[in-house]
A = this chain, B = another copy of it.
C-alpha cells in the first residue's frame, strides 16, 4: 500500500463538516476562487477550516470528473542529450508555473514512443509534447483525442508545432564557411530521419549550391547523433581521405554539437589540426561547446525557450480548443508561430582554409598528434 495512514487524508467532506456547510460548497470555494458566488462570510469559514485541517485537493478525483489530469506528457528520444535536457527544462518550468505536472518519457529501444503514448492516454493526459520522435511515422490514431504540440517536426499535419529555423542554421553555417574561403565541404548528419536535423542539412547543402559549390556524396556521412557517432564518422572520413577517395574537405558541418564534438575529438586523436587544417561547425550551442579546445563554432539554438514555448502553446491550446470558438480572431496564434531564430556563434574551430599547398593535409594526416600554438586568448 503506497498510502500509509489510510484514513488520514483530509477531504472536502471533512472540511465541510468542520465549517458547518455542505460538501459542494467547499468545492465551490476551493476550486474556482474567482467565480465565487458564495457569501464572503461562508467563504471565510471554509477557508479557515481547510487551512486548519491541512486540506489538499485530490487531483485524481477532480481529473476523473473533469476528464483531464492537469498533466502534460513530453516524449524525447534522449534525456541525456543536453539539447533535450534544455527543452525539457524549459517545458517543465512553464508547466509547473501553470500548475501542470510533467510526465517525462524517453522513447527508444526499450520502450517506443507508441507505448508511451498509450500510457499517457490512459492517464488522461491533457496534452503531449513530441520532440524529434518522428511524429510523422507515428500511427495516426495513437494521437487520437490528444492535444499535441510538435517540436521540430514536419509542419502541415494536424498538429501545431514550434520550431527553430533549422534550415537557416544550416545556411548560416555554410555562409560562414564560404565567407572564410572554404570550397571543399563535408557533412555529418543523423542516421535516422529526424526532421529538424534533416532541415539543417538541407539548408547547408542548398546554401552551398547557391554559391556554386557541390557537396559530394562521399563527403556526406550518416551516424547516430551522438558524440560516439560523430567520432566514428570523422574517423571514417579521415581514413577515406587518407586512402585518396575523398576530395579533401577543409570544412565540416555537423548536424548537432554532440556530433561536432565527437568529430573534433577524432581530429585531436588523429592529429588533424582544427581549425588550421579543418574547420568544424556544430549546431545547438550546448554548454560543452565553449569548453573544448578549440572552442566550437556553432549555430546557437534556443533549446530552453523552445521547450518553454511548446509548453505555453500546448497549455493555451487547452484553454481554447481548436474546434471551439470558430469566431475567434482568424488565426491569432493558432498556426505554428514563426520559427525561433538561430544565430551563428563564431569561435575557435573555424578559420580560413589552409593555403593550396597544404590543402591535402587531411589526406596525409600524421599518425601521431602534433600541436600548434593557438592564435588568441578567449
Contacts and interface: CB of A to CB of B under 8 A. Distances in A.
Interface in A95-111: 96-97, 99, 101-106, 110-111
B82 A80 contact: yes
A180 interface: no
A338 interface: no
A127 B2 CA distance: 7
Contacts of A265: 290-291
A92 B376 CA distance: 44
A42 B205 CA distance: 61
B288 A68 contact: no
Contacts of A144: 5
Interface stretch (A17-25, A115-123, A165-173): A115-123
Contact of A64 (B64, B82, B111): B64
Nearest to A99: B119
A147 B264 CA distance: 46
A330 interface: no
Interface residues of A, number: 77
A54 to B, nearest CB: 8
A63 interface: yes
Looking at A3, A99, A377, which has the most chain B CB atoms within 10 Å of its CB? A3
A111 to B, nearest CB: 5
Interface stretch (A83-91, A217-225, A241-249, A339-347): A83-91
Contacts of A116: 96
A106 B89 contact: yes
- Copies of this protein in the assembly total 2
A361 B67 CA distance: 68
Nearest to A84: B85
A327 interface: no
A371 B369 contact: no
Given A56-B122, A293-B292, A374-B371, A145 B5 contact: yes
A56 B369 contact: no
B106 A123 contact: no
A57 interface: yes
A89 to B, nearest CB: 4
Nearest to A78: B89
Interface in A63-80: 63-64, 67-69, 71, 79-80
A1 B104 contact: no
What 7 A-B pairs come out closest when comparing CB atoms?
A: A2-B126, A293-B293, A104-B104, A79-B89, A2-B68, A3-B67, A60-B63
